[in-house]
């Protein structure tokens, strides 16, 4: 099981940013309203995600770390088999297998909870009482301390932090009702309040995507064919390097997809201008039965059953919105 965890870890835990992604997603799954992310040295020394969600009961703490610690794989030869397995239920176990991890949680408001600590392959976790408000904290220290090959692949602290910040940015965009804070080396970089009104949403968007984007962004909200497409389109006055400001979420999940980018590019080209990278933050809410998102858990792939329909929906939606603002 330990070997399996370490192999799976290689797939799921690519770098500090992937750890933070898994931890924040767990926090969101637990119904958190507030998520605090603390980072030291790009996440390589320490990263901590704390939430105010449902918490984990004392008896379930070891399970959370060992869940699906599969016995299916006994040899490194089986590596290929691992790649085909889903990673559901394996994130915490994988992270624990390549770090010094402390999981602390409380399910009530007594201010008391329980804590369990692991050290890489040493998964013999001891549960101890700990002070903790309702919710969960996961602290990951010395990531890859026991996998030097992986450790060598890490870039500079600044690069790792940039990846990490991008993960927080995406998750903050899809969870406007949740407050987020991000601290790096004791400096508070982000403090996002929950957004419940349009004005608050714009303030939050400004924090996440920059004031220049918001100043040149046109809102869009349309329904067609049982789907809803909403968000903001960057107008040509938005002059910063735009290629990196392209966010498309399908049912709350960030995707990169040829059908999507083609439809977007086409709409921009037909209405506004040619040859530039459009900037956008868009959310498509669509019948989950028509889209397959489980192509790979760590990649941003998606497969639309009816891709022509989706292409049309996006193209028409953007065309109409952009036509409104055409100079």
Q: Which residues bind ligand ADP (CB under 6 A)?
A: 22, 26-27, 30, 51, 53-56, 64, 67, 88-93, 136
Residue nearest to Mg ion (CB): 91
**Smallest gap, in angstroms, from Cβ of residue 64 to ligand ADP?**
3
Binding segment (CB under 5 A) for Mg ion, from list 76-84, 88-96, 226-234, 308-316: 88-96
One character per residue 169-208, x = contact with Mg ion (rule: CB under 5 A): ----------------------------------------
Looking at 91, 96, 173, 286, which residue binds Mg ion (CB under 5 A)?
91
**Smallest gap, in angstroms, from Cβ of residue 92 to Mg ion?**
7
By a kind-dependent CB cut-off of 5 to 8 A, residue 176 interacts, out of Mg ion, ligand ADP, none, with: none
In a 13 Å sphere around the CA of 313, the CA atoms on its Cβ side amount to: 24
Query: Which C-beta is closer to ligand ADP: that of 86 or that of 111?
Result: 86
**Smallest gap, in angstroms, from Cβ of residue 91 to Mg ion?**
4
Query: In the numeric block, which tokens belong to residue 275?
Result: 């040859």
**Smallest gap, in angstroms, from Cβ of residue 48 to ligand ADP?**
12
Work out whether strand 303-304 and strand 187-192 pair parallel, antiparallel, or are unpaired: unpaired
Query: Which C-beta is closer to ligand ADP: that of 54 or that of 285?
Result: 54
Query: Which C-beta is closer to Mg ion: that of 56 or that of 91?
Result: 91
Residue 76 to residues 5, 72, 73, 144, 145: CA-CA distances in angstroms? 12, 12, 8, 18, 20
User: Is 188 exposed, middle or buried, given 0-12, 13-18 or 19+ CB atoms closer than 10 A?
Assistant: exposed
Residue 160 to residues 47, 52, 73, 300, 306: CA-CA distances in angstroms? 12, 26, 31, 19, 37
Q: What b-and-e string marks burial along 73-84, b requiring 16 or more CB atoms within 10 Å of the CB?
A: beeeeeeeebee
Beta bridge partners of 166: none
Dihedral-angle region of residue 138 (phi above 0 means left; psi in -120 to 50 means alpha; beta otherwise) = beta
**Smallest gap, in angstroms, from Cβ of residue 30 to ligand ADP?**
3
Query: In the numeric block, which tokens belong to residue 17?
Result: 């940013």
Query: Which C-beta is closer to ligand ADP: that of 92 or that of 310?
Result: 92
By a kind-dependent CB cut-off of 5 to 8 A, residue 62 interacts, out of ligand ADP, Mg ion, none, with: none
Q: Which of residues 19-58 bind Mg ion (CB under 5 A)?
A: 26
**Smallest gap, in angstroms, from Cβ of residue 50 to Mg ion?**
16
By a kind-dependent CB cut-off of 5 to 8 A, residue 56 interacts, out of Mg ion, ligand ADP, none, with: ligand ADP
By a kind-dependent CB cut-off of 5 to 8 A, residue 264 interacts, out of Mg ion, ligand ADP, none, with: none
CA distance 43 to 50: 15
Backbone CA torsion sign across 174, 176, 179, 182: positive
Q: Which residues are near Mg ion by CB under 5 A?
A: 26, 91
């Amino acid at each position: 099981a330990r070997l399996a965890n370490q192999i799976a870890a290689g797939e799921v835990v690519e770098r500090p940013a992937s750890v933070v992604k898994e931890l924040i997603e767990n926090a969101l799954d637990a119904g958190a309203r507030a998520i605090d992310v603390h980072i030291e040295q790009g996440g390589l020394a320490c990263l901590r995600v704390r939430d105010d969600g449902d918490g984990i009961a004392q008896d379930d703490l070891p399970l959370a770390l060992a869940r699906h610690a599969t016995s299916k794989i006994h040899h490194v030869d089986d590596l290929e088999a691992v790649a085909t397995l889903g990673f559901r239920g394996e994130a915490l176990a994988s992270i624990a297998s390549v770090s010094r991890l402390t999981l602390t949680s409380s399910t009530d408001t007594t201010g008391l909870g329980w804590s369990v600590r692991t050290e890489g392959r040493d998964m013999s976790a001891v549960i101890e009482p700990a002070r903790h408000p309702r919710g969960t904290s996961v602290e990951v220290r010395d990531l890859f301390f026991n996998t030097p090959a992986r450790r060598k692949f890490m870039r500079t602290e600044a690069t790792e932090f940039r990846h990490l910040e991008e993960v927080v940015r995406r998750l903050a965009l899809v969870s406007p009702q949740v407050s987020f804070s991000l601290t790096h080396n004791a400096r508070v970089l982000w403090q996002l309040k929950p957004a419940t009104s349009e004005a608050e949403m714009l303030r939050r968007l400004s924090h996440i995507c920059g004031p220049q984007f918001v100043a040149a962004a046109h809102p869009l909200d349309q329904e067609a064919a049982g789907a809803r497409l909403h968000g903001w389109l960057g107008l040509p006055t938005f002059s910063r390097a735009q290629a990196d400001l392209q966010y498309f979420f399908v049912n709350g999940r960030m995707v990169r997809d040829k059908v999507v980018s083609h439809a977007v590019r086409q709409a921009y080209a037909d209405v506004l201008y040619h040859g530039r990278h459009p900037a956008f933050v868009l959310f498509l809410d669509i019948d989950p039965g028509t889209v397959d998102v489980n192509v790979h858990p760590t990649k941003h792939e998606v497969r639309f059953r009816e891709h022509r329909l989706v292409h049309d929906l996006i193209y028409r939606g953007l065309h109409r919105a952009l036509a409104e603002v055409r100079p």
